[in-house]
Amino acid sequence: MAVKIENMPSPSVLMNSMRSIGYTFKTALADIVDNSISACAKNVYIEIPINDDDLNVTILDDGKGMSRDDLFNAMKYGSDREYSSSDLGRFGLGLKSASLSQCRVLTVISKNNTEISAFQWDLLSDAEIVIVSNKIKAIHSVYQEEGDAILGGYTHDYKWYDDFLNAGKEEYYWERYKTYLAVQKHFAPEVIKTLENDTLRKIMSYLGDPNEESAFSVRGLVVGDVQSGKTSNYLGLITKAADAGYKVIFILTGTIESLRKQTQIRVEEGFVGYDVVSAVDVGVGRGDKTPKSFTSRLKDFVADDDQNTNIKISNYPSEPMIFVVKKNVSVLSKLYTSLKNINTTKQYQQIKAPMLLIDDEADNASINTHKSEDDPTKINKYIRNILRLFSRSSYVGFTATPFANVFISYDSEDEMLKDDLFPRDFLVLQ
């Protein structure tokens, strides 16, 4: 005698199996849009991410919405509804299987008259939830707090930058970077506002005035954690410095090429406006003004081609020059030698163009790795030599661990290297 036994499928296994039934991204979109057509939509809007920072595909339509019960039924596998002859679907699986073939979270919101209903399928594991949560925080939860500052006792006109802004001078590079942060990087308006009106305005006022003819040598340090947006801090500082009149800009990265390349890409996206290798526009894009980059994603300052060795600064009087280089003895030595040999003479031993040097992870140059190419003493020597080449220079270190920097002897000075990198003029705490 036959016995009826109920054999229920495992919901999680079945749903994950249904995710692998052969949809491409295009066919999945078509199946989902079919639901909009069935709802008599006149307009369907599809928003597709164009970079890795976006996490979702959005499909909006103006068709007839569903009630809460209808939406609940539609979210059920094997939903029970009547199909018209024009419908692509027949089995109550299309919306779920098409969507979840491309994602792990499906959210459907529907408005029927004044009633708004929403349901969600969430197939993320606990580990994936943590990953997605961290990704969202990295994109949308970057914060910028007002920082405190400790200033040195040197004679300095702290109002020069306010005077520059009050004069209505154009901030070309900053304005397009600010737009890039808002539109492409999704920075919150309050974050950008604090960055512009508090953090960067203060740091700029501590730098030397690039339009002042007299010599200056400024040393400063910015201390803050990664979450406060270190990269946006120094990229923003670069754009504002370029707008104010700084002509030569150096960014010193870590000792690893992959980190230098990553910084180069960010500089191209936020300041230069194009990929130096392919000449394709990236990030802020090219406009009326274009900085000259002497390094690329493929090359540090290698001093083996014309672009790197023929650096006569007076040949670039209008737009800023930028170098993204590793803290490497060979690289810094070549950079120093090239700048010195081409731009100085016995009569004029310093370069007059105002220079800004950004030292990313400024404490890194003081760590003894016992490798000759990464010898912190030699690296420190060449950084100071490069600074000494310019009669008007501002050095700003960025770090989350300032211990090595603040323990530099503040009166450390020798005749050849002049003063060390102790932040004698300002220390900004974020």
Q: What is the pLDDT of residues 153-183, one digit of tens each?
A: 778 899 999 999 999 999 999 999 999 999 9
Is the domain spanning 142-429 CATH 3.40.50.300? The answer is yes
Backbone angles phi, psi at 366, to 5 degrees: -95, -5
pTM (two decimals):
0.65
Tens digit of each residue's pLDDT (9 = 90 or more) over 115-148? 888 898 888 877 777 766 666 655 555 555 566 7
Where does CATH 3.40.50.300 sit in the chain? 142-429
Q: Which of 220, 208, 199 is nearest to 156 (CA)?
A: 208
Strand order in the sheet with 426-429: 148-151, 426-429, 216-223, 392-399, 355-360, 248-252, 321-325, 292-293
Inter-residue contact 352 to 384 (CB < 8 Å): no
Residue where the block lists tokens 């950008």? 192
Q: What is the signed CA dihedral for 158, 164, 167, 171, rounded to 10 degrees? A: -150
Q: What's the pLDDT score for residue 3?
A: 83
Q: What's the pLDDT score for residue 83?
A: 55
Q: What fold characterizes domain 11-133?
A: Heat Shock Protein 90 (3.30.565)
Inter-residue contact 153 to 424 (CB < 8 Å): no
Q: What's the pLDDT score for residue 37?
A: 87
Where does CATH 3.30.565.10 sit in the chain? 11-133
Backbone angles phi, psi at 398, to 5 degrees: -125, 130
The CA distance from 177 to 230, in Å, is 15
Q: Are strands 105-112 and 392-399 parallel, antiparallel or unpaired?
A: unpaired
Question: What DSSP designation does 281 have?
Answer: B
User: What average pLDDT does range 367-382 have in this prediction?
Assistant: 64
Query: Which are the contacts of 360, defined by CB distance < 8 A and separation ≥ 6?
Result: 230, 234, 251, 252, 253, 254, 263, 398
Residue 335 half-sphere exposure, CB side, CA atoms within 13 Å?
Answer: 29
List Cα–Cα distances, 349 to 49, 249, 390, 413, in angstroms.
Answer: 52, 19, 9, 20
Tens digit of each residue's pLDDT (9 = 90 or more) over 297-343? 998 987 565 445 567 777 777 889 999 999 999 999 999 988 888 88
Q: Are strands 413-414 and 418-419 parallel, antiparallel or unpaired?
A: antiparallel
Q: What's the pLDDT score for residue 291?
A: 94
Query: Tokens standing for 210?
Result: 């690039």
Q: What's the pLDDT score for residue 391?
A: 94
Tens digit of each residue's pLDDT (9 = 90 or more) over 14-32? 777 777 777 888 888 888 8
The CA distance from 181 to 194, in Å, is 13
Among 25-39, 364-378, 407-421, the range with the most confident prediction by mean pLDDT is 25-39
